[in-house]
Chain A
């Protein structure tokens, strides 16, 4: 994440803990997580959490949060539906983080047991969506 570049110490474990609605080291983190969980899980009222978020960060940023939740609903479907593998560089570079954050337990991990063969330059972050 970009916490370091913005002078923040982000609690990644709490960010990925689906039950955690609270501080993670990001401004308005509790409101962002409450809204995301309400939209994704129906955990809490969407209108109430959206209003609280708008109070904290404004209408524009709230709309953008909704857009990011929405697009990731699509991203997980194209990723899982087409069976893409983690890119080789990411797979090997994230061994410790995946273990620490318990990401390997995700259902989709069963489809990414190995590194994709072939050369791919994944050093440029922009290429993830380039």
Chain B
């Protein structure tokens, strides 16, 4: 085994204060750069906390959403919609499960399988049945578990076992500083943030987990301003991967 190089390494003080272990990559390579250990640590903690009670969903409901995200890859209705010229051309709707209503199941499947062709009319229909907070949390949970599963797939790792839900009551707190900023759901009205930074601001517990993933996997806090950052991937390489991923997902934003 050897230690990969090329990025800032943990100092002993940093390691002691964060208790993050080095990561074993492919072919037994031990990776202990700060950037990489932060990614792996964020995935571990977010993966543990996403199955606990959230803003409006219970841990059981969140685990059920994760299960539905996975089933969307092979679900017949999802596949037919994806192949259709427009998803509305395919009749049918997802059924309720033991944990999720039909509308909740529909949201998870559509966001997971065909996010680029969602419309405001469709979202309004689901929100009318669910309320906008629950809708937003379902979007957030779907996004978060998609990140975890996609990473595992990219690294050739086996799909992680769905964790047991953590019992407890959701926070059920609607933030005061949210309103109409032009999105389909209420979001924070602060004047300085771009729209992408406030997507899940209506559901702060879920947003915390989401922001941790974004910060460790791409934006790097203040380092985002540094166009020549010192991370394993150079900034142009990181942006190339980001641009191609976005294009393949047909995300306009």
Query: Interface on A for B, CB 8 Å cutoff?
Result: 1-3, 5-6, 8, 10, 12, 15-18, 24, 26-29, 32-33, 35-37, 39-41, 46-47, 50-51, 54, 57-87, 90, 103-104, 106-112, 116-122, 124-130
Selected A-B contacts with CB under 8 Å, 29 pairs: A6-B235, A15-B247, A27-B237, A36-B248, A37-B244, A39-B153, A40-B248, A59-B4, A60-B6, A60-B36, A62-B26, A64-B231, A64-B232, A68-B238, A69-B151, A69-B154, A71-B147, A72-B218, A72-B246, A77-B139, A78-B143, A81-B118, A81-B199, A83-B123, A116-B182, A120-B192, A127-B192, A127-B197, A130-B193
Closest chain B residue, CB of each to CB of A39: B154
B187 at the interface (CB under 8 A from A): yes
How many Å from the CB of B105 to the closest CB on chain A?
Answer: 15
- A85 with B182, Cβ < 8 A, contacts A50-B26, A77-B143 known: yes
How many Å from the CB of B231 to the closest CB on chain A?
Answer: 7
Identify which of B31, B117, B150, B219 contacts A73 (C-beta below 8 A): B150
**Which A residues touch B184, using CB under 8 A?**
82-83
How many Å from the CB of A110 to the closest CB on chain B?
Answer: 7
**Which A residues touch B27, using CB under 8 A?**
54, 59
Secondary structure class of chain B's binding surface, majority of residues: helix
Interchain CB contact under 8 A, A73 and B146: yes
- A103 with B181, Cβ < 8 A, contacts A15-B244, A77-B146, A81-B118 known: no
- A24 with B240, Cβ < 8 A, contacts A59-B27, A70-B151 known: yes
Closest chain A residue, CB of each to CB of B116: A107
Interchain CB contact under 8 A, B233 and A64: yes
B13 at the interface (CB under 8 A from A): no
Contact-size category for B: 35 or more
Identify which of A18, A68, A108 contacts B253 (C-beta below 8 A): A108
Contact with A along B12-30 (1 / 0, CB 8 A): 0000000000010111010
**What's the Cα separation between A25 and B253 when bound, in Å?**
24
Identify which of B193, B214, B224 contacts A71 (C-beta below 8 A): B214
B92 at the interface (CB under 8 A from A): no
Interchain CB contact under 8 A, B194 and A77: no
Interchain CB contact under 8 A, B245 and A69: yes
Interchain CB contact under 8 A, B199 and A60: no
Closest chain B residue, CB of each to CB of A117: B182
